[in-house]
C-alpha cells in the first residue's frame, strides 16, 4: 500500500462504494458481477440476497486489491473500483507507474452502464451541447464491460487536453496486459487504456457480458 494512503482512506472508500455500484441498473450490475465470477444466479434485475452477497464480495476483493496495489485520489478510486477486479489490478499498477515518474495521472472515467454510454454518445449530437467524444453507443464500448478506463493528466492542478502528454505517458502507462487507445487506427483515443482484447470483437464481448460470462 502506498505511503500517502493511510488505512482510514481504504475503509472510507469501502464504505462509500458498498451497495452503491450501478444502483439504478441492477441488470447491468448483475452482468458485471457475473463477469467477475461472483454472481451465478439468474440475471433478473432484482436486487436480492444473491446480488447483495456478490456485490459485497466484489467490494471486499476491491479493497484487498487497493491494500496491495495502493490507493489514490477520490475520483480515481471511484472509477477504478467500478472496473472488473482483474482490470482494477492493472489500472492501479499503471497509475502507480505514471505517478512514480512524476506524472499526475488520474482515472477520470471507468465502467459505464449502457445508459451512461448512450448519454455520452448523444453529447454533441441531436442538438445536444458539448463536443463529440465517442462513436460508441451502449454496448459498443469496452467501458461497458468493466475492462476500460480513461486517464486525465494534470499539471499544477490543471487538466491537460493536448494529445502530446498522453502520447508521452503511454510508454509508461501501457504495462503488460494492457492496450492503449492511442494505438488504434481511425479514431485514436489517447487517454484510453483497457485490458488487452486478445483479438475478441466488441460484439463477442457484449454477448459474453450480457450472459454474465467471462469475457477475457
> Tens digits of per-residue pLDDT, 152-192?
999 999 999 999 999 999 999 999 999 999 999 888 999 99
- Helices (H) then strands (E): counts for the chain: 8, 5
Q: How many of the other CB atoms lie within 10 Å of CB of 3? A: 6
> What is the topology classification, in CATH, of domain 7-210?
Muramoyl-pentapeptide Carboxypeptidase; domain 2 (3.30.1380)
| DSSP assigned state of 211 | T
Q: How far is CA 34 from CA 25, 51, 144, 211, 214, in A?
A: 14, 10, 14, 8, 8
At 5, the pLDDT band (50, 70, 90 cuts) reads: very low
Q: What is the four-CA torsion angle of 64, 68, 73, 75, rounded to 10 degrees?
A: -40
pTM of the model: 0.89
Strand, helix or coil at 155? strand
What cell numbers appear for 123 in the block? 453529447
What are the domain boundaries of the chain? Answer: 7-210
Amino acid at each position: 500500500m502506498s505511503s500517502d494512503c493511510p488505512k482510514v482512506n481504504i475503509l472510507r472508500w469501502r464504505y462509500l462504494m458498498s451497495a452503491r455500484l450501478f444502483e439504478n441498473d441492477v441488470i447491468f450490475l448483475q452482468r458485471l458481477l457475473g463477469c467477475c465470477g461472483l454472481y451465478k444466479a439468474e440475471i433478473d434485475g432484482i436486487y436480492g440476497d444473491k446480488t447483495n452477497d456478490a456485490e459485497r464480495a466484489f467490494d471486499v476483493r476491491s479493497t484487498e486489491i487497493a491494500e496491495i496495489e495502493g490507493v489514490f485520489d477520490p475520483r480515481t478510486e471511484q472509477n477504478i473500483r467500478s472496473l472488473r477486479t482483474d482490470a482494477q489490478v492493472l489500472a492501479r499498477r499503471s497509475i502507480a507507474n505514471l505517478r512514480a515518474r512524476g506524472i499526475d495521472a488520474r482515472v477520470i472515467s471507468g465502467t459505464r452502464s449502457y445508459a451512461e454510454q448512450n448519454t455520452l454518445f448523444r453529447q454533441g449530437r441531436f442538438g445536444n451541447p458539448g463536443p463529440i467524444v465517442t462513436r460508441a453507443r451502449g454496448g459498443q464500448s469496452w467501458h461497458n464491460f468493466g475492462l476500460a478506463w480513461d486517464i486525465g493528466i494534470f499539471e499544477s492542478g490543471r487538466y491537460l487536453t493536448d494529445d502530446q502528454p498522453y502520447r508521452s505517458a503511454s510508454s509508461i502507462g501501457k504495462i503488460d496486459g494492457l492496450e492503449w487507445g492511442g494505438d488504434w487506427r481511425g479514431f485514436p483515443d489517447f487517454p484510453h487504456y483497457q485490458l488487452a482484447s486478445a483479438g475478441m470483437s466488441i460484439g463477442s464481448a457484449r454477448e459474453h457480458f450480457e450472459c454474465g460470462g467471462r469475457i477475457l
